Amino acid sequence: MIKIKVDAQDTAESVEQIKDVIGGEIKERWGQYVLNVSNEKAEGSIRFITFDWGVSLLELDITFAEEVIIEVDTSNFNPISFYYCLEGYCGHKFGYQPDDEIKIMEQFQSVILTNRDGGITDRYFPKDIKISQTVIQVRRKPFLRKRLNQGEELNQQLYKVFLDTDHEKVFAYYGSYNLKMAEVVTKMRNIKAKGMIRIMMIEGYVYQILSMHMIQHNKEMLNKRPQTSLLKRELKTIRNYVKKIEKNISQDFSLEDISAETGLTQAKLQEGFKLLYNKTVTEYIRHARLELARDYIATTEMNISEVVYSIGFTSRSYFSKIFKEKFGLSPSEFKNSKKSAQTVS
């Protein structure tokens, strides 16, 4: 087992102390730092960005060759941490509870944790398991000063954690799994832009992910946890099938065919789509097609008929009708508005 002691003053120093044990090299570009490691201890990367409003983003994409315990002393740096595992799992326990078992943060689970100042937090990572985890770390005082203007909208339990700027209390929330958050985290990780534009786009997603954690916590504390009979593996099956739909958008997907391919009943499919996307299967497919059509019209030289054909519609009049219902403009009006904007610029 690899043991790492961290007593850092910020995210950057934390990663530096991890590097001192597992090796690797840290490089910086446009304010984003990346620890790349490839040796007998670990394979992968740890990325981080620190924003000026009291928040840091930490992203792990790493596989450890041995079990790892990171013992974190919170005397100098004790943020509220919002965890989300996109792939794999890891564990946590407060060090003042030596007899307690490590509590697992499961894949797709929203977890919010903070310790008291001077406490010890143990973080556990398994052997030979790929970990893709996003951690948003919030330093309370600068965050309250700059961003938390509507704190009263949070439930009282979480609001008190933010107001505990002397870090006297321990807080732990292990929420239900949230596959909608997986979509947003994946989009953030797949940003293609470079330089300052990339950092600005990441910052926007950090706001969104942080708000999703908070909203979920608020709902679940009010006993509004989504009720579903579906298992996590069934929801993952639906999410994976949505990727197939998006890659083959012109294909004629029927509810019967999707049911046969996934092994899920039509009722479970409808329940899963409503839970994950707030749409029926048919509504989601139409939504995905219209979103792609808008992108085609805005960014390519395809004419409207070509767009209609490419996304799987057969009736141009029907396409124009539902496009205007969704976006407020007909396809032609939308195309002309984009041309006018490009001419002005």
The domains located in the chain, with CATH, are 2-221 (2.60.120.10), 232-344 (1.10.10.60)
d(C-alpha 301, C-alpha 41), whole Å: 50
Cα separation values, 332 from 94, 165, 200, 307, 340, Å: 59, 54, 32, 12, 12
Per-residue confidence (pLDDT) for residue 220, from 0 to 100: 81
pLDDT tens by residue, 141-184: 888 776 655 444 556 677 777 777 777 778 889 888 888 898 89
Q: Indicate the pTM of the whole model.
A: 0.72
Position 147 scores a pLDDT of 60
pLDDT of residue 274: 85
> What confidence score (pLDDT) does residue 96 get?
60
Q: 213, 183, 211, 189: which is closest to 201 by C-alpha? A: 189
Per residue in 86-106, pLDDT tens? Answer: 999 999 988 765 566 889 998
The confidence score (pLDDT) of residue 4 equals 95
**What distance, in Å, lies between the first and last C-alpha atoms of the chain?**
59
Token pair, residue 245, equals 């739909």
Per-residue model confidence as pLDDT tens digits over 289-299:
999 999 999 88
Q: What is the pLDDT of residue 42?
A: 96
Cα 176 vs. chain centroid, distance in angstroms? 14
The per-residue DSSP string of 192-250 comes to: ---HHHHHHHHHHHHHHHHHHHHHHHHHHHTT-PPP----HHHHHHHHHHHHHHHHTTT
pLDDT tens column, 250-265: 998 999 999 999 998 9
